[in-house]
Amino acid sequence: MKRLLLAGAAAALLFAAPAQAQSPDKILNSSYDIARELFAAINEAFVPAYKAQTGRDVTVDQSHGGTSAQARSIAEGLEADVVTFNQTTDIDFLVQQGFVSEDWQSEFPNNASPYYSFPSFLVREGNPKNITDWDDLARDDVEVIFPNPKTSGNARYTYLAAVAYAKEAFGDDEEKIAEFVGKIFDNVPVFDTGGRGATTTFIERGIGDVIITFEAETRSIAREYGEDSYDSVVPSVSLLAEFPVAIVDRVAERRGSQELAKDYLNFLYSEEGQRIAATFGNRVHDEKVTAEFADQFPEVRLVTAEDVFGGWDRIQEEHFASDAKLDQIFGDR
Amino acid sequence: MAQHPAKPPRVGDKPAIRWTLIAFVVFFGSLLVLAPLLVIFTQAFALGIGHFAETIALPDTRHAIFLTVLTALIAVPLNTIFGIAAAWAITKFEFWGRRFLLIVIEIPFSISPVVAGVAYLFVYGLQGLFGPALQSAEIQILFALPGIVLASMFVTAPFVARELIPLMQAQGRDLEEAATSLGASGWRTFLTVTLPNIRWALLYGVVLCNARVMGEFGAVSVVSGKIRGQTNTLPLHIELLYHDYNTVGAFAAASILAVLALVTIVAKLALERRGAGRAGRPALASPTVAIQEKTS
């Protein structure tokens, strides 16, 4: 009996254990789910660089997951000092909840997006169907793979990029735009729920002629499954996808980690940070690094959600809300 | 059977039916269970044993294994105590709300683990009932070990009790009543009468509970925070590696999880065999003998 009581007491103690001693030598970076290796490399470079600069030993912990879920966790008390997301809207959610200051996009350069990417194509070796641009995706003999835009943020970018292309091709003829995008949707044999599922469909099940996902991800897919078996194809025009970063002010203030958080995010803009991001297939702003990687990153004209669609609020309203344009195109499929 | 010779033969009496049935079960058993298991292990070793060992030795993977085992070490004993207490209360006592308690214990079986995780968010989260108070007291429940243990315990709460209740109901209260009337204390009655009678069911419940705790994904994924090297359990880590295009790493971690589960099952079989060898008599007889010896 005594032993049982002891075990109970120990358990009770464990549950009552206070949060880890708060030390500003440690920050938590909450990030999107496919950035594990990127930030492992970033952190490995940041720690010694920071030590050389300030003499302080610091640790950066990482949490990865779908960014909507990550933002939710932070709102529920996950003590992340910084967020490095792949969707602006999830940081906006943290703004609404009072965790991130409203002017976060002006706190760091380039709309607080240290690197960027865009929907791009990965085709099978030698590009047998000769797919070079968005209009090829609407051809009758092409099978296209991308996940369900209702459930995948990645696929929403694909959808918007296709619409952006169609807008340029057909002007404001809404009917033609819907028809064009509808044709592409018709060419998708399976809509997986997420990017990873779509990759499995394309690679392991061998379905489809082209998979559409962020350019950075086409690189990691090729790296994992064989550079020789797949070719990256960059379309003539695509939609800028920002990878926004922000300090979670409410957590950082509570923990006194603002300065370290700021230095960490600034490191992403340093030459070294930019080079690491580029190694993982992301496009960067640093001119020197861009020049170094010029042969890996073909020219592409990128349009922004702001310019083409008038911002994310309007996109949500006109395209992604129930019964809006996406539903109308996607409805019967 | 002998007194009803007119009865039709049972299923399985005809060889054709018997073999069809066996073939069917073996086929689907292999397809559903064995084949995926084999795939896990072949994929894990696809790049050689060196690569496998390398993946397992990564600090994040090691920590995930440690965290999963630690969670099981806390959650399983607590749930075992809870399960025995619940089964005891329900089968040995009559009280108002007994049926209700029975239903409460079964709830985690019928609720999706994700719902459980979200429910914990509403209780302990910063937007929830106790969140703000917990934060000002610097107590971290969610996104830390306590949250993971709580979520795992919720999901596995019924396992031990569910194994024990039917058995203890079938056994009735006679033996315990006899022991008590002969002067044994409640604790002694439990140790020498009840426990020997329920040990195999208990063991089975514990094994199931353990396997489920180690494998729990849904509830834990909501409350863990997924901090690598801190709150990332093995199942979450497998998902992370998989999403990261680290297929071999994911399968290597998955094989470790599978091995952990297999170890529990093998341990259970071994224990059963030892127990069965020693006690060559019906389980019900032994405690009665013990009581008789005491009183003589």
DSSP string, A104-120: GGGTSHHHH-SEEE-EE
Residue A10, in any domain of the structure: no
What phi and psi values does residue A31 have, to the nearest 5 degrees? Answer: -135, 175
For residue A178, give its domain range.
Answer: 119-239+300-330
- Rounded mean pLDDT, A236-254: 95
CB contact, 8 Å: A61 with chain B?
Answer: yes
Q: HSE-up of B195 (CA within 13 Å, CB side)? A: 10
Task: Enter the tokens of residue A19.
Answer: 């949060």
Task: Enter the tokens of residue A110.
Answer: 């380039």
CB contact, 8 Å: A5 with chain B?
Answer: no
Could you write out the DSSP letters of every residue in A302-327? EE-HHHHHS-HHHHIIIIISTTSHHH
What phi and psi values does residue A118 have, to the nearest 5 degrees? Answer: -165, 160
Between CA A278 and CA A272 the distance in angstroms is: 10
Give the pLDDT confidence of B257-275 residue by residue, as tens digits.
Answer: 999 888 888 888 887 777 6
Q: Which domains does chain B have, with CATH numbers?
A: 65-295 (1.10.3720.10)
Q: Are residues A139 and A233 in the same domain?
A: yes
Could you write out the DSSP letters of every residue in A47-105? HHHHHHHH----EEEEEES-HHHHHHHHHTT---SEEE-S-HHHHHHHHHTTSS-TTGG
Q: Are residues A60 and A199 in the same domain?
A: no
Q: Are residues A186 and A319 in the same domain?
A: yes
Reduced to 3 states (helix: H, G, I; strand: E, B; else coil), residue A232 is strand
What integer pLDDT is reported at residue B136 of this predicted model?
A: 86
Cα dihedral value B151, B152, B154, B157, nearest 10: -170
What integer pLDDT is reported at residue B276 of this predicted model?
A: 61
Could you write out the DSSP letters of every residue in B44-71? HTTTHHHHHHHHHHSHHHHHHHHHHHHH
Percent of chain B with pLDDT over 70: 88
Give the pLDDT confidence of B162-193 residue by residue, as tens digits.
Answer: 999 999 988 888 888 888 888 888 888 888 88
| B126–A14 C-beta distance less than 8 A | no
pLDDT over 70 at A1, yes or no: no
What integer pLDDT is reported at residue A3 of this predicted model?
A: 52
**Residue A167 near residue A176 (C-beta atoms within 8 A):** no
Q: Are residues A100 and A46 in the same domain?
A: yes
Residue A1, in any domain of the structure: no
Q: Are residues A38 and A171 in the same domain?
A: no
Give the pLDDT confidence of A14-68 residue by residue, as tens digits.
Answer: 444 444 444 479 999 999 877 888 999 999 999 999 999 999 999 999 998 888 8
Out of B78, B81, B142, the one facing A77 most closely (by C-beta) is: B142
Q: Are residues A210 and A325 in the same domain?
A: yes
Out of B138, B230, B245, the one facing A61 most closely (by C-beta) is: B230
Domain count, chain A: 2
CA A171 to chain CA centroid, nearest Å: 29
Could you write out the DSSP letters of every residue in B12-56? TSSHHHHHHHHHHHHHHHIIIIIHHHHHHHHHHTTTHHHHHHHHH
Between CA B201 and CA B166 the distance in angstroms is: 10
Residue A261, in any domain of the structure: yes
Between CA A108 and CA A244 the distance in angstroms is: 9
- Indicate if the alpha-carbon torsion angle A223, A229, A234, A240 is positive or negative: negative
Residue A13, in any domain of the structure: no
Burial of A71 (0-12, 13-18, 19+ CB in 10 A): buried
- Rounded mean pLDDT, A235-252: 95
**Testing the interface with A: which of B226, B230, B232, B241 to mutate, by most A Cβ within 10 A?**
B226
Give the pLDDT confidence of B52-67 residue by residue, as tens digits.
Answer: 888 888 888 999 999 9
Our CA-based measurement puts residue B131 at a distance from the nearest CA of chain A, in whole angstroms, of 8
Kindly identify which residue of chain B lies nearest to residue A36, measuring between CA atoms. B244
pLDDT level of residue A7 (50, 70, 90 thresholds): low
Query: DSSP label at B224?
Result: S
The secondary element (H helix, E strand) that includes residue A249 is helix A249-255
Give the pLDDT confidence of A284-312 residue by residue, as tens digits.
Answer: 999 999 999 999 899 999 999 999 999 88
Percent of chain A with pLDDT over 70: 92
pLDDT level of residue B8 (50, 70, 90 thresholds): low
Task: Enter the tokens of residue A275.
Answer: 């080079």
Give the pLDDT confidence of A111-157 residue by residue, as tens digits.
Answer: 999 999 999 999 999 999 999 999 999 999 999 999 988 878 889 89
Between CA A153 and CA A32 the distance in angstroms is: 11
Between CA A239 and CA A213 the distance in angstroms is: 12
Q: Are residues A108 and A182 in the same domain?
A: no
What integer pLDDT is reported at residue A44 of this predicted model?
A: 95
| B142–A18 C-beta distance less than 8 A | no
What phi and psi values does residue B266 have, to the nearest 5 degrees? Answer: -65, -40
Mean predicted lDDT score pLDDT of chain B: 84
Reduced to 3 states (helix: H, G, I; strand: E, B; else coil), residue A175 is helix
Residue A218, in any domain of the structure: yes
Give the pLDDT confidence of A73-119 residue by residue, as tens digits.
Answer: 999 999 999 999 988 888 999 999 999 999 999 999 999 999 999 99
Task: Enter the tokens of residue A54.
Answer: 């300030």
Give the pLDDT confidence of A154-180 residue by residue, as tens digits.
Answer: 898 999 999 999 999 998 888 999 999
pLDDT over 70 at B292, yes or no: no
| A14–B146 C-beta distance less than 8 A | yes
Angle subtended at Cα A23 by Cα A111 and Cα B222, rounded to the nearest 5 degrees: 65
Residue A8, in any domain of the structure: no
pLDDT over 60 at B221, yes or no: yes
Q: Are residues A224 and A124 in the same domain?
A: yes
Residue A3, in any domain of the structure: no
Instruction: Indicate the range of A4-8, A243-247, A260-264, B41-45 predicted with least confidence.
Output: A4-8
- Rounded mean pLDDT, B90-112: 88
Residues of A in contact with B246 (CB under 8 A): 37, 224
Task: Enter the tokens of residue B273.
Answer: 């065999």
Q: Are residues A217 and A319 in the same domain?
A: yes
CB contact, 8 Å: B244 with chain A?
Answer: yes
Between CA A284 and CA A280 the distance in angstroms is: 11
Q: Are residues A269 and A152 in the same domain?
A: no
Between CA A215 and CA A118 the distance in angstroms is: 6
What integer pLDDT is reported at residue B10 of this predicted model?
A: 65
Kindly identify which residue of chain A lies nearest to residue B227, measuring between CA atoms. A63
Of the candidates A104, A88, A84, A39, the one whose C-alpha atom is nearest the C-alpha of residue A250 is: A104
- Rounded mean pLDDT, B3-17: 66
Residues of A in contact with B244 (CB under 8 A): 33-34, 36-37
Angle subtended at Cα B185 by Cα B180 and Cα B188, rounded to the nearest 5 degrees: 105
pLDDT over 50 at B293, yes or no: no
Give the pLDDT confidence of A181-205 residue by residue, as tens digits.
Answer: 999 999 999 888 888 889 889 998 8
CATH code of the domain in which A173 resides: 3.40.190.10
**Testing the interface with B: which of A78, A93, A200 to mutate, by most B Cβ within 10 A?**
A78
How many other CB atoms sit within 10 Å of the CB of residue A234?
17
Residues of B in contact with A19 (CB under 8 A): 138-140, 144
pLDDT over 70 at B280, yes or no: no
Task: Enter the tokens of residue A151.
Answer: 């459930």
Q: Are residues A23 and A107 in the same domain?
A: yes
Strand partners, A237: A301
Q: Are residues A130 and A104 in the same domain?
A: no
Query: DSSP label at B227?
Result: B
Burial of B38 (0-12, 13-18, 19+ CB in 10 A): exposed
Residue A11, in any domain of the structure: no
Kindly identify which residue of chain B lies nearest to residue A63, measuring between CA atoms. B227
What integer pLDDT is reported at residue A85 of this predicted model?
A: 93
**Residue A160 near residue A309 (C-beta atoms within 8 A):** yes
